[in-house]
Structure 1
Amino acid sequence: MYSHERKAKIIDLLKAQSSVSVNILADMLHTSKETIRRDLKELESEGLLTRTHGGAITNGNSRSVGASAKYGDTILNNEYPFALRHVRNIPEKKKIAQKAAAFIENRDTIFIDNSSTTLFLLDYIPREVHLTIITNSIKVLLEAAKLGNPNLSLISLAGFYNCNNYSVYGTRTIKSAEDFFPNKSFISCTGVTLENRLTDISLNEVDTKKALMSKSKETYLLADHTKFEINGPFYLSDFDAIDYIVTDKYDYTPQTGSNIRTITSKNNIKIITS
């Protein structure tokens, strides 16, 4: 099991019962106590839990994990840290990213936003594909650099650095985005509803996404099932700004399923399931 998969399970367990022990986690995750202690230390450094003698307990961030949160005052005033988003729903995000990556073609120029789902795209881009990636995500740049692939050309947008979310933002970011016309944009968001359209939780990044979406020939929304019928605090776009929704298979309620069909049929959006 990979480190990020263990961390996701630790966060899920904390959400369910508020505390965990090193011994139990080591048994559950079939790894050593030393490995679990290292995972807990890293999660604490990212603000996701508080270590105790022999284990860990939740803190303010870990209690608010997941799309079930209703975006109250705590979240409105503080964006979710990237590290927190990155360990949620990893299997679904990977499948969605793998499906979306199949639409990337040789010599494409693409925009990848600063979402935890789109980050996984890098794992599924064929190494032989020549690709230019534009991004406001420092995490995307770092992970792409680790691949050591000479066929990837990386372009970082300018702007102020957001150390909480590993991204750049601001007027300089918007200005630099105006210089590019990507073939495709790959984005995610906080919520998708029939009433409020696409919404997001990061006010700093909404305008950057809008700018690149408007210049792209095609826009792909990568959204797992937890995004539907959830509202973020900030409007991102209407449905006519996207061409594809890439999502996971899920047994939605009749009402949610009906809303998704309405969204896609009325706006000529193709829905792709992983």
Structure 2
Amino acid sequence: MAENLATASYNRRHDLLQRLRTDGRLDVSAIAEEVGISRETLRRDLRKLESQGLLRRSYGVAYPVESGAYESELSARVDSNVEEKMRIATAAISHLGAAQNVFIDEGFTTQLIAQHLPESEHFTVITPSLPIAALHWA
């Protein structure tokens, strides 16, 4: 039960951040009604996000503070926008040209790039990602 509440809180905060980034600001009373939660629950969520440095609150309004501090779990990103991520991976691979060394960072899209590198080419792959390092080059 506690895990479900934690997941619900996490998902609700994630949705708030998405709205905030899309709209540029959130009106506390309007969003609470729209989302179907109490104003106090919304205020708690906003306080938590503010303490993480992800937004700034001011008199019933919240504004985004962009940083790299918020990133969803890889497991949550694996199923979202897969077709688009595959198009990005394919485009990235097409730009490698005569590269011999390739740095591939962590993440699902970069994992798709690594999985689809042409086996006929001989690349030295440098990565901080264990799943990528464990692919067919090991």
The 5 A counterparts of 1:208-227 are 223=108, 225=109
Unmatched 5+ residue regions in structure 1? 62-79, 97-191, 201-221, 230-234, 244-266, 269-274
Misfit runs of 4+, over 3 Å: 88-93, 192-197, 225-229, 237-240
2:36 counterpart of 1:30: yes
The corresponding residue for 1:199 is: 105
Find the counterpart in structure 2 of residue 241 from structure 1.
Answer: 133
Distance across 1 between alignment mates of 2:65 and 2:132:
39
Question: C-alpha displacement at 1:241, in angstroms?
Answer: 2.4
Please say which structure displays the higher CA radius of gyration. 2
State the alpha-carbon separation in 1 of the partners of residues 16 and 74 from structure 2: 12
- How far the C-alpha of 1:226 sits from its partner, in A, is 8.4
- Matched residue pairs, number? 102
Match of 2:14 in 1: 8
- The structure with the largest helix share of the pair is 2
Structure 2, gaps ≥5 residues long? 1-6, 81-88, 97-101, 114-125
Corresponding residue of 2:60: 54
Q: Cα RMSD (Å) of the superposition? A: 3.7
Structure with a larger share of its residues in strand: 1
* Contact 1:21/1:54, CA 8 A, preserved across alignment: yes
Say if 2:48 is the partner of 1:42. yes
Amino acid in the other structure paired with 2:42: I
Decide whether aligned partners of structure 1 residues 57 and 92 sit closer, same or farther in structure 2, where only a CA change above 3 A counts.
Answer: same
The SS at the match of 1:47 is: coil
Superposed, 1:1-274 pairs within 5 Å as 2-61=8-67, 80-81=68-69, 84-86=70-72, 91-92=76-77, 193-194=92-93, 195=96, 196-200=102-106, 223=108, 225=109, 236=127, 241-243=133-135, 267=136
User: How far, CA to CA, are the matches of 1:17 and 1:58 in structure 2?
Assistant: 9
Percent of pairs with identical residues: 23
Report the CA distance between 1:55 and its aligned residue: 2.0
Partners of 1:89 and 1:13 lie apart in 2 by 21
